[in-house]
């Protein structure tokens, strides 16, 4: 797993030339790439969401397309369209911007539900269907979608089926004082993204996507994951809990996080570090709790605090470093 750790450090170090002070967010996006998952970046304008997506794409050498979602955007503007060629007397497929390795769906909640749904097949099955013909998407294929959580006027909230297809939801937040001064200095002459170069090959990413599946997950860790997800379905303040896809997502992201830290086994700390980003967007808070300003993230934190963390058990592989997790 040292190769994956070194791969991650190269990419993160390169992206941090542009995105300052947001290492945890960059790590989460890289985890999503290793897991073949999609990311929902939810934050106010100007926090670097688009720049992060571009930096990741350039660092890995992936093809990058940006789709600006607006109310008048049509599904064919996303997937592509078949046009009749008068010379050949045949229909020709003109691919849309979704056919790329990294797709930035900017302000995804500003498009109508019909247009939003055009991404469902692409995100889940890595293919699109236009006029009855299926077109496979390139590998890797990752959607990085952004939305503004403050300004809801004229927006269309993503349905639960689409939210569930995002592996992670994360927030960048404002930079602190020192980081913001560093940003000013770095952009004095030009934007640092103009000088960013590829530091790894796409083939490396594809190989590591398969390799992380070999990271060992103990039975106790699996039980811990299921206990956390089950608790979201039984909590009094939660109307709809996380699906089985949430359990699978937490399982796979924990494997990727462990590999990025040079380990070939998952610990409870991996689960606790990821559970908020993996589950908070998959649950619906009931109306009574929303009136009390209870957030999904707060409920997930409460559940993590209430579920017992698995401790050591003799003879288990993940104890090779005497890992005993505490709350």
The CATH number for 267's domain is 1.10.8.80
Least confident residue range of 45-49, 104-108, 250-254: 45-49
Please write the tens of the pLDDT for every residue from 238-293: 999 999 999 999 999 999 999 999 999 999 999 999 999 999 999 999 999 999 99
How many domains would you assign to the chain?
Answer: 2
169 and 47 belong to one structural domain: yes
179 and 234 belong to one structural domain: no
pLDDT at 324 exceeding the cut of 50: no
User: Which structure tokens are listed for 160?
Assistant: 């639960």
Res 313: pLDDT: 58
17 is a domain residue: yes
pLDDT at 327 exceeding the cut of 60: no
CA dihedral angle for residue 57, residue 60, residue 61, residue 64, rounded to 10 degrees: -20
Q: What's the gap between Cα 262 and its chain centre?
A: 21
Pairwise CA distance, residues 177 & 180, whole Å = 5
Kindly give, in sequence order, each residue whose CB lies less than 8 Å from that of residue 263, ignoring residues fewer than 6 positions away.
1, 215
148 and 271 belong to one structural domain: no
pLDDT at 299 exceeding the cut of 60: yes
Q: What percent of the chain has pLDDT over 90?
A: 63
The whole domain housing 297 covers 215-319
From 208, 232, 258, the end of a domain falls on 208
246 and 314 belong to one structural domain: yes
| End-to-end Cα separation, the chain, in angstroms | 27
Cis peptide before 119 (omega within 30 of 0): no
Res 172: pLDDT: 85
The CATH number for 113's domain is 3.40.50.300
Assess contact for 70 and 109: CB atoms under 8 A: no
Res 312: pLDDT: 55
What is 291-325 written as a DSSP string? Answer: HTT--HHHHHHHHHHHSPPP---TT-GGGTT----
98 is a domain residue: yes
**Overall average pLDDT of the 77-92 stretch:** 87
Pairwise CA distance, residues 259 & 27, whole Å = 12
247 and 268 belong to one structural domain: yes
From 208, 231, 261, the end of a domain falls on 208
262 and 144 belong to one structural domain: no
191 and 162 belong to one structural domain: yes
Assess contact for 39 and 32: CB atoms under 8 A: yes
pLDDT band at 326 (very low <50, low <70, confident <90, very high): very low
Beta strands in the chain, from DSSP E residues, in sequence order: 39-42, 64-68, 80-85, 90-95, 102-106, 127-130, 133-136, 142-147, 168-170, 238-240, 284-285
What is 178-229 written as a DSSP string? Answer: HHHHHHHHHTTTS-GGGG----S-HHHHHHHHHHGGGSB--HHHHHHHHHHH
pLDDT at 314 exceeding the cut of 50: no
From 208, 223, 238, the end of a domain falls on 208
204 and 219 belong to one structural domain: no
Cα-Cα-Cα-Cα dihedral sign, residues 297, 284, 247, 35: negative
162 is a domain residue: yes
pLDDT at 315 exceeding the cut of 60: no
Res 325: pLDDT: 45
10 Å Cβ neighbour count for 66?
A: 16
User: Which structure tokens are listed for 136?
Assistant: 């496979």
The helix/strand/coil state of 64 is strand
10 Å Cβ neighbour count for 72?
A: 9
Cα angle, residue 47 at apex, residues 44 and 50 outer, rounded to 5°: 100
């Amino acid at each position: 797993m040292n190769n994956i750790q070194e791969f991650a450090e190269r990419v993160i170090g390169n992206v941090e030339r542009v995105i300052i002070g947001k290492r945890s967010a960059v790590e989460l996006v890289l985890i999503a790439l290793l897991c073949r998952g999609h990311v929902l970046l939810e934050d106010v304008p100007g926090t670097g969401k688009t720049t992060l997506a571009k930096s990741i794409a350039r660092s890995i050498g992936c093809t990058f397309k940006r789709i600006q979602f607006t109310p008048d955007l049509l599904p064919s503007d996303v997937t592509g369209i078949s046009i009749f060629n008068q010379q050949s007397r045949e229909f020709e497929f003109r691919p849309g911007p979704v056919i790329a390795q990294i797709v930035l769906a900017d302000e995804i909640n500003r498009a109508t539900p019909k247009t939003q749904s055009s991404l469902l097949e692409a995100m889940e099955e890595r293919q699109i269907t236009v006029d009855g013909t299926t077109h496979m998407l390139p590998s890797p294929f990752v959607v990085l979608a952004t939305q503004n959580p403050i300004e809801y006027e004229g927006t269309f909230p993503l349905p639960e089926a689409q939210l569930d297809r995002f592996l992670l939801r994360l927030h960048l937040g404002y930079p602190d004082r020192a980081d913001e001064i560093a940003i000013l200095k770095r952009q004095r002459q030009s934007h640092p993204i103009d000088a960013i170069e590829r530091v790894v090959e796409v083939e490396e990413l594809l190989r590591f996507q398969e390799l992380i599946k070999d990271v060992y997950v103990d039975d106790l860790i699996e039980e811990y994951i299921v206990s956390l997800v089950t608790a979201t379905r039984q909590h009094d303040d939660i109307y709809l809990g996380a699906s089985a896809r949430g359990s699978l997502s937490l399982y796979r992201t924990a494997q990727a996080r462990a590999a990025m830290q040079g380990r070939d086994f998952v610990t409870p700390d991996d689960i606790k570090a990821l559970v908020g980003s993996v589950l908070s967007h998959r649950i619906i808070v009931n109306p009574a709790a929303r009136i009390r300003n209870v957030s999904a993230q707060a409920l997930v934190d409460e559940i993590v605090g209430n579920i017992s963390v698995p401790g050591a058990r003799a003879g288990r592989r993940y104890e090779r470093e005497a890992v005993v997790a505490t709350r």
